[in-house]
Amino acid sequence: MTRIARNKTFLDRDVAKDVIRQDPSTLSPSDLAAYESLNGILIPYEAKITKAKEGTRDKTKYMLFCTENLRIYDTVDQYLQDRKELVHNTKQLENRIAEMMVLNSDSQVDFLDDGNGF
């Protein structure tokens, strides 16, 4: 079974052991503030083994669902590493879109006009 656990944050003790890999009570105030700023972006994603022919049953693992890019991360560190690339690519994309908008307004071409007046 998998589900997004909206009733939890990744700073809850059972979630933090998987995604931060330490007890949240041992975090420094600056780290805690940084993690709290990510609460709306990273939502706990629970994967639970409920039945098994062999092996462990009722085992739960938490991951993080990112609302910015719709990816699932194992740890907060993975998200932070990926975020650097995400921010860089977003800036490049915004610059290219702005360039295209300038080119379109300069050329006075209406791409929606098919020549029939519609």
Per-residue pLDDT of the chain (118 residues; tens, 9 = 90+): 899 999 999 899 999 999 998 888 898 999 889 899 999 999 999 999 888 788 778 889 999 999 988 999 999 999 999 888 888 888 888 888 888 888 777 555 555 555 565 5
Q: Is 98 part of a structural domain of the chain?
A: yes
Q: Is 60 part of a structural domain of the chain?
A: yes
* Number of compact structural domains in the chain: 1
Q: Is 113 part of a structural domain of the chain?
A: no
In the prediction, which pLDDT does 19 show? 94
Q: Is 78 part of a structural domain of the chain?
A: yes
- Three-state SS string over 68-99 comes to CCCCEECCHHHHHHHHHHHHHHHHHHHHHHHH
Q: Is 118 part of a structural domain of the chain?
A: no
| Structural domain that includes position 93 | 2-107
pTM of the model: 0.69
